[in-house]
C-alpha cells in the first residue's frame, strides 16, 4: 500500500501484490489436496 500511494510506485506495488497472491494460491491448493486426500482414507 505504501509503495503504491505514498511513493507512487504502482508497478512495483502491483508486482508485489501479484507475487503474494501467487504464493497464497499455491499454499491453498497444496493444503486443499492434502486435506482431500486425508478425507478419503
Please give the C-alpha separations between residue 31 and each of 1, 8, 21, 22, 24, in angstroms, as whole numbers: 28, 36, 15, 14, 10
0.75 surpassed by pTM:
no
Q: Kindly give the residue spans of alpha helices, DSSP state H, lying in 1-41.
A: 2-5, 10-40
Residue 22 lies in domain? 2-40
Specify the number of domains making up the chain: 1
Tens-digit pLDDT profile for residues 1-41: 565 667 677 777 788 899 999 999 999 999 998 888 766 65
Amino acid at each position: 500500500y505504501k509503495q503504491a500511494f505514498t511513493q507512487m510506485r504502482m508497478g512495483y506495488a502491483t508486482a508485489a501484490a501479484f507475487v503474494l497472491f501467487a504464493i497464497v494460491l499455491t499454499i491453498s491448493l497444496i493444503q486443499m489436496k492434502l486435506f482431500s486426500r486425508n478425507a478419503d482414507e
